[in-house]
Amino acid sequence: MDETLKGKVAVVTGASRGIGKAIAETLAERGMRLVLAARSRDLLEKLAAALPTESLVYAVDLRDGNAPAELIAAANARFGQLDLLVNNAGATKRGDFLTLPDADWADGFALKFFGAMRCCRAAWPLLVNSRGCIVNIVGIGGRTGDAEFSIGGSVNSALLNLTKVLADRGIRDGVRVNAINPGLIATDRLQLRIKNFAQKHNLDESQARQELAQEMGIARFGMPEEIARVVAFLASPESGYIQGAIWDVDGGQTHTL
């Protein structure tokens, strides 16, 4: 086992399911101690019980302006250090730009962008002390516009820009900041999209899965653990010269430079 992360401490937001859960499991396998944050305490406790390393369950709604600082303070109180912040929390509503109300826009930015920004701000002094890392889990919609993804694309673009801003600051302060853009990953959210695609085109779900992948120009959908392994790499000393990078982990879906 790679032991370069053993004993270090990571905060993972959105850890209760999907990509966040896979990230927590992968980091724990590499020996990291974890702070698991999400709104569902039950799911977090179930995850924590299955992990091989010490973890702190912190049920929280990061849309609350005070919650990110409280989360980071709890992590420091428990472990006395922070080496990695993984901003993974946040989902945005798809739909027609002309019919999406202001409330959906505000909600999309509140969790995924402002929650991540506030976590970064609160964690920064601890990460300076440890010469640690931030990995933002963003999404390919921030690089390629989609008429049905106006909120998500805008939020993702903002978070990608914040990644570059913090990476620039991090050169001076000794904190590495990078981002991952997942493509279509096999999570509950993708399963719902496949189900809707199947209904729309009168297909069974197996056919819908294959045709949706083909429509997106990829050979298959990704797995959550494939994103998690990239997070582990970006947190490790092996990626020590990677700063401000945007990693498209999407099976080749993104064609832009």
- The residue among 211, 222, 215, 212 whose CA lies nearest residue 248 is 222
- The residue among 175, 160, 162, 147 whose CA lies nearest residue 247 is 160
Helix (H, G, I), strand (E, B) or coil at 167: helix
For position 188, what pLDDT does the model report?
Answer: 86
- Contact assessment for residue 227 and residue 219, using Cβ atoms and an 8 Å cutoff: no
pLDDT, greater one: 244 or 209:
244
**Given the structure tokens 């199947």, which residue do they identify?**
198
pLDDT, greater one: 216 or 185:
185
Estimate the crossing angle of helix 41-50 against helix 18-29, to 10 degrees. Answer: 30
Q: What residues contact residue 78 under an 8 Å CB cut-off, 6+ apart?
A: 35, 56
Is the whole-model pTM more than 0.85? Answer: yes
Residue 239 has pLDDT above 90, yes or no: yes
Out of 3.40.718.10, 3.30.365.10, 2.60.40.1180, 3.40.50.720, which CATH number does the structure's domain 9-183+225-247 have? 3.40.50.720
Mean pLDDT of 91-112: 95
Convert the pLDDT of each residue in 109-149 to its tens digit: 999 999 999 999 999 999 999 999 999 999 999 998 899 99
Residue 1 has pLDDT above 70, yes or no: no
Angle at alpha carbon of residue 237, lines to 231 and 241, rounded to 5°: 90
- For residue 134, what are the β-bridge partners? 85, 177
Convert the pLDDT of each residue in 158-207 to its tens digit: 999 999 999 999 999 999 999 999 999 999 888 888 888 888 898 988 88
For position 177, what pLDDT does the model report?
Answer: 99
Residue 54's region, left for phi above 0, alpha for psi from -120 to 50, else beta, is beta
Convert the pLDDT of each residue in 29-53 to its tens digit: 999 999 999 999 999 999 999 999 9
Q: How far is CA 81 from CA 10, 52, 76, 84, 184, in A?
A: 9, 19, 5, 10, 34
Q: How far is CA 36 from CA 91, 94, 225, 239, in A?
A: 18, 27, 17, 24
Q: How far is CA 192 from CA 21, 139, 188, 211, 239, in A?
A: 18, 18, 6, 15, 35
**Given the structure tokens 């390393």, which residue do they identify?**
53
Confidence of residue 106 (pLDDT cuts 50, 70, 90): very high
Domain with CATH 3.40.50.720 in the chain: 9-183+225-247
- Contact assessment for residue 30 and residue 83, using Cβ atoms and an 8 Å cutoff: no
Percent of the chain having pLDDT more than 90? 86
Q: Quote the mean pLDDT of the chain.
A: 95
Mean pLDDT of 16-35: 98
Q: What residues contact residue 193 under an 8 Å CB cut-off, 6+ apart?
A: 212
Least confident of 85-89, 214-218, 240-244: 214-218
Amino acid identity at 94: R
